Chain A
Amino acid sequence: MQTNDLINALRADAAKQAMPLGYSWWIAIVAATIIAAGAFFILIGPRPDFTVAAHTPRFLFKFIVTLALVVVAFALLRVLSRPGSDVRHVAYWLVLMPILLGTAVAAELFAVPSDQLVTVWWGSNVYVCLTFIPLIGLGALAVFLAALRHGAPTRPRLAGAVAGLLAGGIAATFYAAHCTDDSPLFVATWYSIAIAGLVALGAICGRRVARW
């Protein structure tokens, strides 16, 4: 078949259009959030003293970090799904999370007596955290991979990893409402490891799922 023949066929197919990618991303994040919320309320739910905790800065800080992660990862994922967009410009914002966490950890090291640091760092929910953040984020990750498939990622593995990061951010936001370990030391360590699991899974699936 010659190229002009192919153009004839593509031209005749002009009317069949897929949904603009911008819309699909907003649908995806709403769907992913609903799925994660469902998993959260079915599996663990918020901690009993939620309303009291909501007045403490350590508790609120968890949401600042996780929501910042959601915003940045979502922007980055959208950019990665469009060929030829400026990825680097958005990717720089990823340093925001280490900066936030680093600052909070430094403050925590001053505030907490040194003989209690290990106790605070280890907390009492390590395994709960490592289990339920990935579990809550799993459905969200599947939604984002499907949206990625609708897009055209020229770096599918990286895009899949960022899909995992976004799913992890959403899952961690919900999980933070359950967990009673509010120390930045705990968050910086165990949340990161739990989210990294989803990132790795996303990277593995991205290469297979988002092929086009």
Chain B
Amino acid sequence: MNGDAENELATLLRAAIAGDERAYAEFLGRTAAIVRGFARRKIQGGVDPEDIVQETLLALHMKRHTWKTDAPVSPWVYAIARFKLIDAFRKRGRHVEVEIGEIAETVAQPEAETVSDREIGRVLDGLTAGQRSVVAAISIEGRSIGETAAKFGMTETAVRVALHRGLRSIAKKFGRS
């Protein structure tokens, strides 16, 4: 990744941590493309690269307080993606050597998603009914916090809590299973 892209990514993540949702969505979109390129190059069957993308985004989200706000973003992103990739192979009972070299990563090209059934969809089924409907409304139906609150007759705070707990529970399942 070149210096400009690196700086933009850091700026977006800093803005996100300061509470800018739009910057956060932009950051996640760009990061997803980078991780997708990384995962597709490392995986030859056995694991769906898009599952790695989603597990990595979720881990980045839950662990974004571990990023040092004055540090470059990409070493942090790649370290998490590599960890999730190795973990995915380990869980599926396969041993792989994921090369630690940085050279291959610098040529990673952002790539677009292809559609298929995702592990995260199956994990969603393990949530409590309330959490599941809130997470689904916001993610799949693309509703805002306010719209979701109106739809279910909940307060916005309750929606935020249900969303956060739901996401944390999904992230935990990825870590454990």
Contacts and interface: CB of A to CB of B under 8 A. Distances in A.
A72 B24 CA distance: 35
B173 to A, nearest CB: 11
B66 to A, nearest CB: 5
Contacts, number: 118
Interface stretch (A17-25, A182-190, A194-202): A17-25
Interface stretch (A76-84, A96-104, A112-120, A130-138): A76-84
12 contacts: A5-B139, A6-B139, A8-B139, A10-B28, A11-B21, A13-B61, A19-B65, A21-B65, A82-B66, A84-B76, A85-B71, A152-B63
Query: Interface SS of chain B: helix, strand, loop or mixed?
Result: helix
Contact of B19 (A14, A20, A83): A14
A2 B66 contact: no
A20 B139 contact: no
A6 B163 contact: no
A211 interface: yes
Q: Which of A11, A17, A19, A20 has the most CB of B within 10 A?
A: A11
Contact of B17 (A17, A82, A83): A17
- For the complex of A and B, 9 pairs with smallest distance between CB atoms: A83-B79, A84-B75, A84-B79, A9-B139, A5-B139, A152-B63, A84-B76, A18-B65, A11-B25
Contacts of B106: none
Interface in A40-64: none
B130 interface: no
A152 B84 CA distance: 11
A81 B66 CA distance: 8
Contact of A154 (B80, B171, B175, B176): B80
Nearest to B23: A14
Contacts of B171: 212
A111 interface: no
B155 interface: no
Interface in A147-169: 150-152, 154
Contact of A10 (B24, B75, B82): B24
B95 interface: no
Query: Interface SS of chain A: helix, strand, loop or mixed?
Result: loop
A13 B167 contact: yes
Interface string B124-147: 100000000001001110101100
Contact of B61 (A10, A22, A85, A211): A10
B140 A17 contact: no
A7 interface: yes
B16 interface: yes
Interface string B49-89: 01001100111011111111001000111111011000000
B166 to A, nearest CB: 8
A135 to B, nearest CB: 31
Contacts of B160: 12-13, 15-16
A154 B83 contact: yes
Contacts of B79: 83-84, 154
A1 interface: yes
A7 B124 contact: no
Nearest to B135: A9
A4 B31 CA distance: 12
Given A1-B124, A154-B82, A6 B58 contact: yes
A6 B79 CA distance: 21
